């Protein structure tokens, strides 16, 4: 199992259990550890709530090399001895596999020289979407092995409360800082307004106490007494 479509850094045994959200895809790769003339053939893939692949609550999403899920996609691989495919995690939630589950795949070896790996799937499964064609008939090579990945937990997005809890203290600190800054600014504005008001009142008082010289010039209305 891989974390993304790049198919790098495969999950190790110690990495499990793995948490996957419902809107994510699960990426798998089936390998054939055999001579180059043989290739892998997916007999079946099931998801089960336990490490037992025959669990009554299991969900089969690949049978006889063909997809049984509309969200399942096969991906091209640069290696002929590997099959890559992915499926939407929501498929498992819809079938009640929200708790820890395991994915089991039965893998056989097919002889590519005898065209055992190239037959098409039934018409009804081909309508699902682009798939890598695989044989659905009996194989001449009976070597079969099972590959299991898990446990895997599928979660709803709203269940991810830890991220919100981690961000909440920082949000509270930010809001507190903003409140303090706004309070300081408002206080400074009030002080400035009060000082400005006091200055205006003082200037008004000084102006009202200033004495302005006042003189009246009367016209000369007496008769001229000169001879």
Residues in the chain predicted with pLDDT less than 70, given as ranges, are 115-116, 118-120, 122-144, 159-168, 205-227
Contact 29, 84 (CB under 8 A): yes
For residue 35, the number of C-alpha atoms closer than 13 Å in the C-beta half-sphere is 6
Q: How far is CA 101 from CA 75, 89, 106, 155, in A?
A: 23, 11, 17, 12
pTM higher than 0.75: no
Q: For residues 26 and 149, is the Cβ–Cβ distance under 8 A?
A: no
- Report the C-alpha gap between 136 and 43 in whole angstroms: 8
pLDDT in tens, 112-163: 777 667 556 765 544 443 344 443 333 344 456 778 899 999 988 874 445 5
The answer to whether 72 and 86 have CB atoms below 8 angstroms apart is: yes
In angstroms, the CA 21 to CA 182 distance is 41
């Amino acid at each position: 199992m891989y974390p993304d479509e790049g198919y790098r850094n495969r999950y190790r045994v110690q990495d499990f259990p793995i948490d996957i959200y419902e809107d994510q895809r699960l990426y798998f790769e089936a390998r054939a550890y055999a001579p180059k003339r043989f290739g892998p053939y997916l007999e079946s893939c099931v998801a089960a709530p336990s490490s037992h692949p025959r669990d009554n609550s299991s969900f089969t999403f690949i049978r006889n090399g063909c997809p049984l899920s509309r969200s399942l996609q096969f991906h091209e691989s640069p290696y002929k001895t590997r099959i890559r495919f992915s499926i939407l995690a929501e498929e498992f939630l819809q079938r009640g596999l929200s708790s820890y589950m395991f994915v089991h795949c039965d893998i056989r070896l097919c002889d590519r020289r005898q065209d055992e790996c190239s037959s098409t799937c039934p018409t009804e499964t081909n309508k699902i979407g682009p798939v890598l064609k695989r044989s659905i008939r009996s194989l001449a090579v009976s070597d079969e092995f099972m590959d299991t990945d898990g446990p895997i937990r599928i979660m709803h997005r709203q269940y991810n409360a830890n991220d919100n809890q981690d961000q909440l203290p920082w949000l509270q600190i930010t809001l507190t800082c903003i409140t303090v800054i706004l309070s300081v600014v408002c206080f400074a504005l009030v002080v400035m307004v009060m000082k400005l008001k006091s200055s205006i009142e003082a200037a008004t008082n000084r102006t009202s106490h200033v004495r302005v010289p006042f003189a009246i010039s009367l016209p000369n209305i007496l008769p001229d007494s000169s001879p």
